[in-house]
């Protein structure tokens, strides 16, 4: 039952990611992958908020966490980072790594401490 | 009666020239077809993302369910998921650039399935938990393994996809 709910929630999160990152990417018209950045940062903050409530022990917070896990993505972040330069050891790929990683972890911790 | 009267002056063979400035008004049948097409073009990709997302999140949830991370332990499940997902996405995109792919296949495989199989939010929460538990070295190791492994395996996937025939 939990598996089924988590699966459905994750797929719904994927659809919202597709919509949000598409809209952001079109609006900003940036060569930088700002759509993926937006979903990953907001998703990390929201998961921190949800996890702070009860450490994902109730079925409601667990389903929300599954939704947010599907909403954010790691693989697209990696691929888009690679495509920013001829090698990962250039300014733009490294900037894309740091601009997601550092604020993402900080926002997640901030969300967690807000509700915990 | 009225229709015949409104018709532009015809030629001998029954054909007629469209007047230069007359705006083409589509007949109702064509208009509803166009609405259906627009709806399909909007909903079809979203449905493909959802369908792919079902597989991706089911697999991720299953992995987390069968090998749960012990409290304070190293988050192997999410690490493995993210690394495998990066490898497969690199491979899929390289294959896709090699030749034709089915309609909405990017939405199904790339965005839906592999996008939701991997996760950034759970990765961030793992890091926060490790730092909270004063396991800073483990946190650094986890971040390092995820990023270096993810980039490296995505590259390996891309190269493999380009070499394969």
User: Of A7-11, B96-100, B131-135, where does mean pLDDT reach its minimum?
Assistant: B96-100
Return the closest-CA partner of residue B69 out of B145, B122, B146, B116: B122
Query: What pLDDT score was predicted for residue A9?
Result: 98
Predicted complex ipTM: 0.96
The reply to whether B62 touches chain A by the CB within 8 Å rule is: yes
> pLDDT band at residue B24, thresholds of 50, 70 and 90?
low
Domain segments of chain B: what residues? 28-163
Interface probe, candidates A2, A67, A78, chain B, greatest B C-beta count within 10 A: A78
What is the rounded radius of gyration, in angstroms, for the C-alpha atoms of chain B? Answer: 27
Residue with tokens 């793992």: B126
> pLDDT band at residue B70, thresholds of 50, 70 and 90?
confident
Q: How many CB atoms are closer than 10 A to CB B73?
A: 13
Query: What pLDDT score was predicted for residue B2?
Result: 44
The encoded tokens of residue B78 equal 């999410």
pLDDT tens column, B41-59 = 889 999 999 999 999 999 9
Interface probe, candidates A74, A93, A115, chain B, greatest B C-beta count within 10 A: A74
A23: Cβ contacts below 8 Å, ≥ 6 apart: A35
Residue with tokens 């598409």: A22
The reply to whether A105 touches chain B by the CB within 8 Å rule is: yes
Query: What pLDDT score was predicted for residue B1?
Result: 43
- Residue B36's φ and ψ, nearest 5 degrees, are -60, -40
Domain segments of chain A: what residues? 2-115
Long-range contact pairs involving A91-95 (C-beta distance under 8 Å, separation at least 24): A92/A32
The reply to whether B146 touches chain A by the CB within 8 Å rule is: yes
Cβ–Cβ below 8 Å for B121 and A71: yes
Return the closest-CA partner of residue B146 out of A51, A78, A103: A78
> In angstroms, what CA-CA distances link B81 with A6, A47, A63, B59, B63?
16, 18, 19, 9, 8
**What pTM does this model have?**
0.86
Of B86, B112, B119, the CB nearest to A69: B119
């Amino acid at each position: 039952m939990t598996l089924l709910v988590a699966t459905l929630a994750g797929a719904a999160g994927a659809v919202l990611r597709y919509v949000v990152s598409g809209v952001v990417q079109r609006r900003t018209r940036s060569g930088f992958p700002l759509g993926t950045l937006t979903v990953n940062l907001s998703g990390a903050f929201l998961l921190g908020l949800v996890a702070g409530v009860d450490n994902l022990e109730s079925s409601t917070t667990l389903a929300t966490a599954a939704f947010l896990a599907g909403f954010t993505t790691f693989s697209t972040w990696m691929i888009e980072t690679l495509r920013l330069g001829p090698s990962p050891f250039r300014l733009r790929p490294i900037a894309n790594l740091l601009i997601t990683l550092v604020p993402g972890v900080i926002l997640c911790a901030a969300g967690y401490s807000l509700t915990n | 009666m009225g229709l015949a009267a409104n018709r532009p002056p015809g030629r001998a063979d029954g054909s007629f020239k469209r007047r230069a400035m007359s705006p083409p008004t589509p007949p109702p049948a064509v208009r509803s077809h166009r609405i259906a097409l627009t709806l399909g073009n909007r909903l079809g990709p979203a449905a493909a993302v959802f369908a792919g997302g079902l597989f991706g999140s089911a697999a991720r949830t299953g992995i987390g369910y069968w090998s749960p991370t012990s409290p304070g332990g190293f988050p192997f499940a999410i690490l493995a998921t993210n690394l495998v997902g990066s490898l497969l996405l690199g491979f899929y995109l390289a294959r896709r650039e090699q030749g034709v792919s089915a309609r909405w296949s990017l939405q199904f495989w790339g965005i839906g399935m592999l996008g939701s199989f991997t996760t950034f939010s759970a990765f961030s929460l793992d890091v926060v938990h490790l730092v909270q538990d004063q396991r800073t070295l483990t946190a650094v190791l986890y971040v390092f393994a995820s990023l270096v492994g993810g980039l490296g395996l995505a590259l390996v996937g891309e190269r493999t996809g380009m070499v394969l025939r």
